[in-house]
Every structure is written in structure tokens, then in C-alpha cells.
Structure 1
Amino acid sequence: MFKLRGIQDLYDWQRTCLNLDCVQRRKNLIYSLPTSGGKTLVAEILVLRELLCRRKDCLFILPYISLVQEKVRGLASFGLELDFLVEEYAGSKGRFPPVKRRNNRSVYIATIEKAHSLVNSLIETGRMEDLGLVVVDELHMLGDGSRGAIIEMTLAKVLFTSKSTQVIGMSATLGNIKDLQTFLRAENYTSDFRPVQLKEYVKLTDTIYEVDPTEEECFKFSRLLNFKYSSSMQKVDPDHIIALVTEVIPTHSCLVFCPTKKNCENVVGMICKYLKKEFLALRQPEKAVLLRELRASGSGSACPVLRRTVPYGLAYHHSGLTSEERKLVEEAYSNGVLCLLTCTSTLAAGVNLPARRVILRSPYVASDFLKRSQYKQMVGRAGRAGIDPVGESVLILQDADRDAAKTLVCAPMEKCYSNLLRDGRRGLLSLILSLIGLNICSSVGRVMDFLCATLLCVQQEALCAETSLKEEVQRCVDLLKDKDLVTETAHVQTLQVTKLGRATFKGSVDLSYSDLLYKDLSKGLEGLLLNSCLHLVYLVTPYDMITQCRPDWMVFFRQLTDAEQKMSAAVGVPESFIARKAAGQTVRKPVNMEVVSRMYLALVLFSLLKETNLWSVSERFHLSRGFIQSLLGSSSAFCSCVLHFTEELEEFWPFRALLTELTRRLSYCVTAELIPLMEVAGVMESRAKQLYNAGYQTLTQLANADPALLSNAIENLFPKRANQIVASAKMLLNEKAAALQEEVDELLMKP
């Protein structure tokens, strides 16, 4: 840790936690601390212990692709030094089942969805005993909708199928942590430690109050704002954001959380107008480099808002930016080139970007009032260990929200509940289908035995108030039979999956869409148009993104060439319909609008694959760059799911080779020569172009690069990042070589 991270000592709580009796005896553990308390380091030490001492594989589950890539980069140097492999399971990446290594151990870094598929593949191949440790970051996400249901399914399967796999959960403080302890058969360690003291404040009109739960009103007078506002300035900034930020920037850093993406851009633009010209001179060369990199990432285009704000050391950060733009902004902020970010709540849940002061522009996310857990995650970003003596948060309030805000800042933490019954029992249906498909259960009775190992069972009195858990299970089994996903043999009442059922759970396809996907693929077999890849792209355009975009009819009409008109008509969207909509005329003949929207999104993806220029596609379709990139990422992941789906159904054999190549194209969406470089965790398109132009044109060349020379050759590539890129490239090369060696050994093995 000292050599690779510079960590000389542990905090007292970390030492205590690692020496707990339950940890020493490899019992399951949930540990809860405030944000920035140093939770991740404990998990990494436990992972290293499992890999090196017990020689077992580990699974590290993280909520977002960006966090997976960051963790892969962070652990790659440890893997090279200590001889283990770091494998990425995110988006379309990851092998199922993973390559079985004879000599090397692996740590699988996975998103929630990929971790579930990985565990399924290990159960199916009888390899669960190889998995020594499962670490779950943000365990409280068990209570977070459909993704929470997937975490619960994954952990329940681990607990049920392996007696030797240890489970470690990192969680925010919860109001019902005992429910999670019962579910995971785990002990709990809790501490309120923070390396930097956090002081919470609220602002009403021009007065700052300190949050104090011991006070009857919850708020204690602290001070009045000391900033002279002109009448025109008061109209532009009635919430005194400029006063609050200029108390700390540019000497210290500041995050301003805004309720919407548009508000982020408006607020950062407003602050810039009233900053002194001295801000322009600070770190001017580095800001110029950042602007050049932003232009390079946009193939010569840069966001006009960022062009105006970056010279002042300010930027915004939300999902409307591409992942490359967000990464550049994050690195510039971490290195002090930027001193202020306006951002949405997603930044608090993702990357770790601390600040001296955190300002919450409003107690809302869009139109929804903040949850206590969201509030704690945001204010937890205040205070940088080793830099700031204290961290401050300021929540800006209007009088109307005063009472609700008292509950927000002073109430106990929310409780976490199972989501298996949410959205018409989607989670429970998916769980039962996979249990039958994996031969874990073959009857309703066995399913009930398994459910005793779930959070749903622990909380059944609260969640199954109207019907019993057994009745819920029977309803799900009956529904799976109706959907032709499961059959039951009459004489012995044994449950089995059908071919469609097996394809559905092996492909991780949502049960809501499996029948529709089968019909779409079957129709595609009858007349798949391959004069372009548009028809294939349509078949892998995610169903769950259809509602997120409304077609611009004139753009839709102009994008259709003769070949595309024919393909559009083949799926049920005739040119005459689009022409009438574009002209604002009434359409008499009914058309399936979900198919229309899916066709429109397929056209967006098709244009992107042809041009690989996200900016021009964004402008043509009037969609944000971030949305298009999100669509691309979801499509590559869904394409991978559809590929696994077709592998289980013999009639779809023609799709397999086509979808294998399409998955690769959707995953990177760049010219072919850049793909080997972009396979390295965290290397985006503009960085890949820089590396390629500097002579690092293959994975082997990059893996054998000198990090110091690489840092000098590539503009704005700091030595730490250069080391991570080279380490990640070496790790990927080792992983590919090891996989090939395993194949060779298997071929040469004597019978």
C-alpha cells in the first residue's frame, strides 16, 4: 500500500475493523460509515488477503461503469506487483463463465447487473467454491428499485450455493441495518468517523444557521452573509450563490449541487458573469490545455458554456456531457485547475470529488424532495482529507421548505426494503426463473426454501401484508407457465425451464420483453435486410429507452434514404406515416408508436456508427451528447444480452456471428485501429487518438511503454494517470495471454 498508494498508516477504525473477530474468522460483515471515511481501503485489503493468502477469486460489485473502470485502473498495479488478474465486467465486457485459471487468481470488478450474470455462470459450471469473497459497495442500494432486486438475488444465490464464500458489505448508515444483518447472516461495525470534521448549515434569506439536532428548531443562528449586492445582482441571484462561492474560491474548492441539468449550466454561467478578472490569470496554461482536450474529445467542437466558464476555473458536470468530457472535467477539478463545479446529484453517488464547501442549490432533485440518504451523500463530499481542516455544507432554503428541511437534516436515516415484489413482482419472477434454470429449485417447495435466504423473507410481514409469501411464489410460477418460460411435469410436479425460459435468464433479458424480443428476432429471420446494419441495430435498440426520447418528425423524415425507408416499412413504420407526421397532418391508419420510437433511436445509433462523430449526430437529432452516449452504452450491453439469448435458441443461429461483430462496434464506436487501445480501462476516444498518433498503436506497445516518457509525449497526461494506463494495459495483455495459455493447456492435456 505504501509503495503503490503512498499510504503509511491506517485510521484507528480501519485497524479495529480489520482485526474484528468475525473478520479474522471470515464471517460476513456489514460496515457503515459516513462518506469519505475510508471504507474502500478496508475492502481492498480484505480482497488482497483473500487473493494472496487463501488463493481464491474475489468479486467486487460497484454501482456504475465509471466506478468499475476506476477500480480496474486502481488495482491493476497491485495485480502486476502481486501476480493476480484484474478483470472488468461492465457494459459489454466480461466472459461468461470466466476463464478457469490453473495458476492465477482473479478479482472480478463488476457492475450490479454483470455481477449477477457472473454468479449465475459460476453456479451453472459448479465453480462457486472458487469464489472466496464478495464485496458490495453501496449495499444500501438493496432498497433502490430494480437494481436493488438484482443485488438481493445475487447475494441470496451466493449465500445459498456456497458455504465458504465471505460477503462484505459497505453501506451508508441505515435505520434498519438489523434486517440486512439477518439476511446476510452478518455482523455489523458502525463508526461516525470522518477524517475531516463536517459542519452543516442552512441558508434562509441572508442568514446562515448551523444544523444542530439538539436545538428545538434544529437550526441555530450562525451569521449574516457579508456581501454587497446591487439591485440588478439581487434579481439575478436571489439565493446569494455568488456570495457563498466567493467566500471559498479560488483558494479552496466548491461543489454546487443543482436540481436539474439545465440549472447547472445556468448557475455556472451566472457565477462567471460576476467574478473578478483575476480569476482568468490563475493556472491559465492548464485551462488552455483543458479547453484543447475538450475540443479534441468533440472532434473539434466544444460546449459553448464550458468555453465561457473554464477560463474562470469553473465548469458544470451532469449526464448531458459525454463520459469523456466528464472525465476531463473531473481530472481538472481533482488537480486544482478548476475550483468550482455545478453538478447534479449523480456526482455525489459516483466519483469521489471532495470540496471545502458543498452548496445545495435547493432541497430538490428535479421536482422530488431530497431523501435523507441523498442529502447525506451530497454533504459528505465536503472536506478533503489532508488538505482542509474542516468541510462545510450549505443547504439553500425557501421559507416554504423550512419544516420539510428540518426532517431532512435531523431525522433518522431511511430504512432499506426488499424490491423483489416491486413493479408487478418483476424481481421475484426473474429470480424464480433463474433458480429453476440453474437447477437450484425444481418445485414450489424448494423455491420457498431458497426464499428463506432473502431479504424479502426477513421483511415479509411488512411487504406481504395482504397475501402470504407462498401465494406470491405460486402466482409467479403460474405467470411463468403462462408466458411459456417454465413447464411442470404432471406426474411428479417438477418445474423445468423451456428453451425460451433458458434463453431469457442466460441472456439476462427482462421478462417484460423476452416474448417481444423473440417475435422481433423471428420476424427478422423472415426478411433481415443486410444492405446496411440498420435492421440489426434496430433489433438491439433497448426497449427500456423508448420512452426517453420523442421523435423529431422532420429530422426522422430527412434521415430516411430509399434503403432505410424499405427497412423502416419492414418493421411497421411506413414512410407515408412519417411524412404525414412531419407535415403536421392527421394519420388515420394506426401505427405502433413504440415501434416508431424504437426505429427513431435505431436511426440515431445507425448515424453514429456511420460517422463516429457524436457531436454532429447530437446536433442533427437535437439530442444531448450524454443521452446519445448513454443510448450507445445501453445498446452495446443489450446487444451482448441478445447475443447470449440467440446462443440458447438454435433457430437464431444466423444472428450469432452478426451480433458478435455488432457488439464490438457498439462498444467502442470508433475507427478500427483505435479499438485495441480503447479496450484499456478508462482510455477514451480522444486519449486513444493521442496515444495512436504518438506511436503507441497496439496494446503491446502501450503495455511496454515507459510511463514517464508517455506522460511527456501526451499533452495533459499526468504521471499518476500515465502509470495507471500502462498498468491497465499490462494487466489486459496478461489477461488475454493467460486465457490463450489456458486454451493451449486444455488442448494438450492428456485424456
Structure 2
Amino acid sequence: MQIKDLDLPEDIIRFYTDSGIEELYPPQAEAIEKGLIEGNNLLAAIPTASGKTLLAELAMLKSIADGGKALYIVPLRALASEKFDRFRTFSSINIKSGGVRVGISTGDFESRDEWLGSNDIIVATSEKTDSLLRNETTWMEEITTIVVDEVHLLDSANRGPTLEVTLTKLMKLNPDCQIIALSATVGNAYEIADWLKAKLVLSEWRPTSLHEGVYLNGNINFHGSQKLIEARTKDEAVNVLLDTLEDGGQCLVFESSRKNSVSFAKRAGRMVSETLDKPTRNALDELVEQIIENGETEASNELAKCVRDGTAFHHAGLNSAHRKIVEDGFRSNKIKVISSTPTLAAGLNLPARRVIIRSYRRYDPNYGMQPIPVLDYKQMAGRAGRPHLDPYGESVLIAKSYNEMTGLFDNYIDSDAEDIWSKLGSENALRTHILSTVVNGFATTRDGLLEFIEATFFAHQNDTWGIMDVVDECLDFLRYNRMLEGDESLLPTALGRLVSTLYIDPLSGAYMVDGLKKAKPQNITDLTLLHLICKAPDMRQLYMRSGDYEVINDIVLAHSDEFAEIPPRSKEIDYEFFLAEVKTALLIQDWIGEKTLDYITKKFNVGEGDVHAIADIAEWLMHSMSRLSGLIAPEMSSENADISSHTALLEKRIHYGASPELIELVSIRGIGRVRARKLYDNDIKTVDAIKSSGLERVSELIGPKTARKLFKEIGLHFDIKSEEPGKVNSQTMGSLMEKEQSTFSDFEK
């Protein structure tokens, strides 16, 4: 089927033909035949790189041409950015005045983001979409096409319930809206399609053939064939990847842990570096400089060393800048090998000639090392083969014995992905969604809640009578904590409305309110408030390690008056959870106390990315507690009633990772906490002090380039004649340029 033959505006057809896409792949042609551009709902369960995104694009563009608006839902912020960059290329398509406009929204869960309504395509995470519904964003009712990427995440215990309830609400809010659901791995695709009232495109077709095999004793064993791998090192996976590079390909290696991914990248780098030519080495040196500029921990140096050798590691502990450098370096074929935890398989467009799954077991805190699901294997294997670049793709599992090899063929290569099951049936999953469903008027009675739940995927798979016991438990909890009122008719209270719009778990809200009331006014410190937000189930708490117990317990004893409540040590499980909360609070305390990231990552055995992720959640929760404290102020003692000013300051400090005295300086765009501290310690403590100090003095402290940007930011500019605001003489400029070349950038996000 040809693109030019589709019933689409000429400008859309020209956009694709000009970019070299003239003919549809077989699954895409099937989707067209099943009414994709005629407004039919569709579930496309087709392999990675088989053209799922194009299906979404055609449906969205047709909808926009007809005067509609599209919402593209993704599971990850990184994937949202990737899709946003792609869809921005539609600005040249003149199906409406000014071209197709694209917006993105992934954060600030209390914002309506009404400004996004002027766009034709809005890209958002499922959590952000849920928050937009909770905040009753008006343009949500204008959506005519909804795309759900990675719909198999309905099966995720963490993200699944939010995605499921969000889809259910959207279908109720916009019953005539077209739903396009996409996934590479769905075991029970017919069941999900039936729930969505969607046509199903189910295919194994790939533009680049995939060969799945198992490595054992020097050979990759495929069905019906073998491939001999030269033994150059003792590490079998290194031998397999060297074979890939020799043939001109790139390699993704999936490891079971962060530690293993780093170790493998280092080990492989010793051999990979010998295969690099001079142009590649020069290109890698540029990436190394970027990594050093964007990091301040020992892990940054480790990554830089690996990249210099043509390898890299990739996991959630890296900061976002490093992850992007690695991903872009791999896409441009500068980095030859990425050793990653399975997070890289979750949606990002990063294919390779060969995928090596070095470990098919993953650590479970309850059961130890366990085999991964088939669905996860299929996600990883699906990354093999770059369309239009590789003649084929290969995924390779590593076995130690013949029996293990046959087991891997039976349990992974020749198996179908598991069925997707709703995870909505627990109190933890339902509690927050029941509150938001009542607050937004999707249900105003218990019977109304039952009717709403009957529209979910959970009800599509199960009888609803069992879940109503859980619903009643949630309702009792919400009433007890004064978030809902009424028995048959359900009415949200002011507290319930605020908790819902803040996008926090009602249990988090209950903990915060209760803790604020119990805290002794004279003993409230930063640690008091940091511990309260770290108690929230929304917080990503740190694990307790064997060496932590004595240290954390001593801190608790020394600061016992500062905690709103301490569980008795006789309740061992409760007390261990409490210690983990305190440990997490201490990390945030170090962050706002301006400890270096290198110090924090080593002390708490975490990555830069973990620190930033915890700080992001902490900022959101501290903002929530600030809002909650303002609401309940009339119920608190007069000494506690002004706690909102303390929480508001902590929110800012968490955002910038700074002490109170630096807030004015770090609030200036481009001045991080390191530069702010340099200025402050040199008696430049305010914006006025920056202005009066002059460009040359400020340049001595933070570098000429940054200083000029700083003065521009605060409304002053300089020319080449004088140092006065608006003027800099040529001699001074030359001096500043010389300093700039020798000044090391200590920029810190």
C-alpha cells in the first residue's frame, strides 16, 4: 500500500514522501484497512521498529486536519521528550494555519497547563494526564484522538492502575474519541482490544529479521544453525560483542544490576578500544568532555573512561544529561557498546545489531534472584536490528550448560509474552483513584463508583463483586481522614479536594496532616518536616543496609524530640521502616546543606540520578505539605499555625539544593548552588551586590562567559568601550576572554 494512495490531505502525504516513506509496512497497511484514518479504535501489537509510531502519526494528523486535537500518552519523561522532538517536525505540514503545533507536559502535578490547549498534539506521561484530569483542565474535553504508547504497562504494579483509570476517565469524558493503543508485547491482545472496543492488528512482521539464539561453549545456537564465536577473552559476552563490532555492528548488553552493567562496560572497554579508528577516537573525546562538564561524581569519571574506550553504561543512577549523551553517542555510532539495566528496553528508540542478555535473572527483595518475565525478554530482544542499517538483528542469551540452553529456548525464545492483568484490585492502587473519581464528579455515590469500576480493564477481566469490599475499605479510610463525607452520596471535603489536586496518595496526605498536628512546636526542625515527607508512600525511600542500623539509630536517639512520632523498637518491622524514612530524610538534609553530589552518592551508595529523583519527589511533597499546612492552620495550635512559611522555604531549598542564605542568588537562572556559594562567600550576597561589584570582579569568581550571562539575566549589558553597565573596554574584554579559556566550568544543575 502506497502513502500517496491514502485518504489524507496532500500536505501530509508530501511530508512523508519527501522524507523517503512511500510504502507502508504490512502491519501498517492492515491498520489502514481496519479504519485507522477513519476514526476506528485500534490496538497495534506489533514488534519494535515495525512502524507503530507512524500509525499514531497518521491517525493524529488526520484528526487534526478534521479540526481535532490529539493526546499522546507515554510512560516515561525521556520517551515524552523523544516523541516531542519527532512531532515538532510536523510544523511544516500546512493542514491548518501556522502548521501543526506540539506541546509537552510531564511535571508540576498541581498545574492545569491550560496554555497547552493551543497545541494540536500534546505529549504527556500517564501520571501528568491523570493530574490534568484531576485539575479539570478544560482542553481535555477537546481531545479527539488519544494514543497510548506501551499499553502493556497496564500490567505494571506501579504505573498500571494510573494508566487504566486515566484511560477509563478519558473514554467517559470523550466517548467519541479515537483510541490508538501501541505495544510490541501483549499476550492477551484480543482481551485488551475488546476492552478498548478496538480493531486489532496482531503481527510478528519486522522490517529487519530477528534471529534469537543462545550462546554456549563458543557457539551462538539458533534454530537450525550455529555461529562460531572466536574466543579472545575469558568473558564469553565480550567475545560475542567483539564479533558484532568486527562485522560493523553495535551491541546492547543487558545486565541484572547497575553494578554489573558498570563492571561489564569497563571490562569490555579494554578490548573495544583496540578496534577504534582515529576519527572515532576524536569523536569520543568530545563526548568525554561533555560527560565531565555535566557531572561531579566519581561515577562521572568512570563513565568518561568507558566512553573513551567506545563503551558506556546506562542506568537510572546516571543523571539525565549523562543518559542523553550516552544515548545520542550510541545513535550516532560513536559509542559501540552500551551495558545497561533493563530500563533501557522500556520504550526508548535505541536499536542495535546485536542484543546480548547476559543475565536473565533479576534480584527480587523477597525471593532473591528470579527469572525475568517473557514480556521483559521480548522487550529486550526487540531492540536487535536497526531498520535500513542492519541486514538482520540478533538477540543472544548466555547459557552455562546444555540443559540451561534448552530451557532458555523453551521458556523465552519459543514462548509468548504473558497475559496482561489489571493491577487495580488492591487498596493501595484504588485509594487515590477513588478519591479523584469522586472529586472530579465521575462518581458521586457508591453505586456510581461501582458503575465507574465496571468500565475499567479490571472489571473486564474479573467479577466486580469482590472489588467492592476493597472499595468500601477505601471509602472508610477517606471518611475517617476527613477527605470524603456521606454514605450513599459521596461529597469531597476541602481536604479531599486539595489532596486530589496535589496528586498525592491520600495516605501521604493523612500522614502529613497527622504529623503536623502531633509535632511539638518548639521542636520542629528541618529534620521534622523532611521525615514527614519521607514517611509518605509517594516517596522513593532508601534501603537499609547492614551498616546503617547503628548509625541511623544513634541519630534518632540524638534527635528524638524532633520527630512527630517514633514507633516502639519492639515493633521491629515498623521501626525498620521508620529508620529507612530517616535515612532518606538525611540524604535530603545533606542535599539542602550543600554537600557535594560526590559526597552524597558515596555516603548513601546511590547515583547522581537517584539524588535528583529523590529531590524532585521531595520538592513535590514539601510543596504539598506547605499547602496542607495552610489549609489545616485553623485546627493547629498557634505555635504550629505558621509552619507553612517553614515548609515553603524548605521547598525552595530542595529545588536548588541550597542553604537559606543562597536562595536569592540561586533563583537567578543559570546560577547553580556552587557558583552562588562562591559569590556569597566573597561578600556578593544579593542581586544589588552583583550589580555593584562589576563584571570583572564577578568574572574572577565564576568565569567571564557565565558572568556575562548573569549580568544579561539581571538586566545589565556591556559593550566593548567601558566596564560600566552597558560598557566594557577592549583591554578588559581581552583579559576576560583569556580568563574564560582557562576557567573550569563548575556548572551544577
| TM-score between the two structures when normalised by the length of structure 1 | 0.76
Tell me, yes or no, if structure 1 residue 495 matches structure 2 residue 510: no
Q: Which residue of 1 aligns with 2:594?
A: 611
Tell me, yes or no, if structure 1 residue 634 matches structure 2 residue 617: yes
Aligned mate of 1:401, from 404, 407, 413: 404
State how far apart, in whole Å, the 1-side matches of 2:65 and 2:85 are. 19
> How far did residue 157 of structure 1 move?
1.0
Q: Which residue of 2 aligns with 1:243?
A: 239
> Against the structure 1 CA distance between its residues 249 and 636, is the aligned structure 2 distance closer, same or farther, given a 3 Å change threshold?
farther
Aligned mate of 2:582, from 594, 599, 602: 599
Paired residues of 1:252 and 1:356 also in contact (CA < 8 A): yes
Tell me, yes or no, if structure 1 residue 88 matches structure 2 residue 104: yes
Paired residues of 1:23 and 1:29 also in contact (CA < 8 A): yes
Paired residues of 1:318 and 1:346 also in contact (CA < 8 A): yes
> Against the structure 1 CA distance between its residues 72 and 343, is the aligned structure 2 distance closer, same or farther, given a 3 Å change threshold?
same
CA offsets per residue over residues 308-341 of structure 1, 9 Å max, x none?
4323211211223222222221121112221011
Aligned mate of 1:257, from 254, 258, 266: 254
State how far apart, in whole Å, the 2-side matches of 1:475 and 1:199 are. 50
Amino acid at match of 1:156: T
Amino acid at match of 1:453: A
State how far apart, in whole Å, the 2-side matches of 1:588 and 1:25 are. 65
Q: Which residue of 2 aligns with 1:148?
A: 160
Alignment of 1:259-658 (within 5 A): 259-275=256-272, 277-279=274-276, 281=278, 283-299=280-296, 303-366=300-363, 367-399=369-401, 400-405=403-408, 406-422=410-426, 425-461=427-463, 468-488=466-486, 493-523=488-518, 526-527=521-522, 529=524, 535-541=528-534, 543=537, 544-550=539-545, 569-571=561-563, 592-611=575-594, 613-642=596-625, 645=628, 649=632, 651=634, 654=642
State how far apart, in whole Å, the 1-side matches of 2:434 and 2:477 are. 11
Alignment of 1:731-746 (within 5 A): none
Tell me, yes or no, if structure 1 residue 185 matches structure 2 residue 218: no
Q: Which residue of 2 aligns with 1:134?
A: 146
RCO (CA 8 Å, sep 6+): is it higher in 1 or 2?
Answer: 1
Amino acid at match of 1:417: W
Q: Which residue of 2 aligns with 1:63?
A: 75
Alignment of 1:151-230 (within 5 A): 151-211=163-223, 220-225=224-229, 227-228=230-231
State how far apart, in whole Å, the 2-side matches of 1:67 and 1:362 are. 25
> Against the structure 1 CA distance between its residues 606 and 53, is the aligned structure 2 distance closer, same or farther, given a 3 Å change threshold?
farther
> Against the structure 1 CA distance between its residues 695 and 524, is the aligned structure 2 distance closer, same or farther, given a 3 Å change threshold?
farther
Task: Say which is worse superposed, 615-624 or 78-87, in terms of deviation.
Answer: 78-87
> How far did residue 536 of structure 1 move?
4.5
CA offsets per residue over residues 697-740 of structure 1, 9 Å max, x none?
68999xxxxxxxxxxx9xxxxxxxxxxxxxxxxxxxxxxxxxxx
Q: Which residue of 1 aligns with 2:56?
A: 43
Task: Say which is worse superposed, 127-136 or 378-387, in terms of deviation.
Answer: 127-136
Tell me, yes or no, if structure 1 residue 110 matches structure 2 residue 93: no
> How far did residue 63 of structure 1 move?
1.0
Paired residues of 2:518 and 2:565 also in contact (CA < 8 A): no
Paired residues of 2:272 and 2:311 also in contact (CA < 8 A): no
Q: Which residue of 1 aligns with 2:22?
A: 9
Paired residues of 1:90 and 1:110 also in contact (CA < 8 A): yes
Paired residues of 2:27 and 2:201 also in contact (CA < 8 A): no
CA offsets per residue over residues 98-149 of structure 1, 9 Å max, x none?
32678x2354322222211112223xx6654222222211001111113101
Paired residues of 2:375 and 2:417 also in contact (CA < 8 A): yes
> Against the structure 1 CA distance between its residues 12 and 48, is the aligned structure 2 distance closer, same or farther, given a 3 Å change threshold?
same
CA offsets per residue over residues 409-458 of structure 1, 9 Å max, x none?
11222111111114xx3223333222222222222222222222111111
Paired residues of 1:538 and 1:602 also in contact (CA < 8 A): yes
Q: Which residue of 2 aligns with 1:725?
A: none
> Against the structure 1 CA distance between its residues 589 and 496, is the aligned structure 2 distance closer, same or farther, given a 3 Å change threshold?
closer
State how far apart, in whole Å, the 2-side matches of 1:204 and 1:97 are. 55
> How far did residue 193 of structure 1 move?
2.9
Q: Which residue of 2 aligns with 1:22?
A: 35
Stretches of structure 2 that go unaligned for 5 or more consecutive residues are 1-11, 364-368, 673-701, 716-736, 738-749
Paired residues of 2:45 and 2:189 also in contact (CA < 8 A): no
Task: Say which is worse superposed, 140-149 or 469-478, in terms of deviation.
Answer: 469-478
> Against the structure 1 CA distance between its residues 539 and 186, is the aligned structure 2 distance closer, same or farther, given a 3 Å change threshold?
same
> Against the structure 1 CA distance between its residues 117 and 94, is the aligned structure 2 distance closer, same or farther, given a 3 Å change threshold?
closer
Q: Which residue of 1 aligns with 2:725?
A: none
Stretches of structure 1 that go unaligned for 5 or more consecutive residues are 212-219, 578-586, 680-688, 702-712, 714-751
Corresponding residue pairs, total: 648
> Against the structure 1 CA distance between its residues 33 and 570, is the aligned structure 2 distance closer, same or farther, given a 3 Å change threshold?
same
> Against the structure 1 CA distance between its residues 526 and 300, is the aligned structure 2 distance closer, same or farther, given a 3 Å change threshold?
closer
Paired residues of 1:88 and 1:108 also in contact (CA < 8 A): yes
Task: Say which is worse superposed, 500-509 or 179-188, in terms of deviation.
Answer: 500-509
> Against the structure 1 CA distance between its residues 660 and 159, is the aligned structure 2 distance closer, same or farther, given a 3 Å change threshold?
farther
State how far apart, in whole Å, the 2-side matches of 1:668 and 1:179 are. 47
> How far did residue 345 of structure 1 move?
0.8
Paired residues of 2:110 and 2:135 also in contact (CA < 8 A): no
Amino acid at match of 1:570: E
Q: Which residue of 2 aligns with 1:120?
A: 134
CA offsets per residue over residues 479-516 of structure 1, 9 Å max, x none?
54445443325xxx322234443333222222443321
Amino acid at match of 2:53: T
Paired residues of 2:484 and 2:490 also in contact (CA < 8 A): yes
Amino acid at match of 1:246: L
> Against the structure 1 CA distance between its residues 662 and 90, is the aligned structure 2 distance closer, same or farther, given a 3 Å change threshold?
farther
> How far did residue 343 of structure 1 move?
1.0
Paired residues of 2:552 and 2:583 also in contact (CA < 8 A): no
Paired residues of 1:36 and 1:195 also in contact (CA < 8 A): yes
Paired residues of 2:109 and 2:501 also in contact (CA < 8 A): no
> How far did residue 19 of structure 1 move?
3.4
Secondary structure of 1:116's counterpart equals helix
Q: Which residue of 2 aligns with 1:726?
A: none
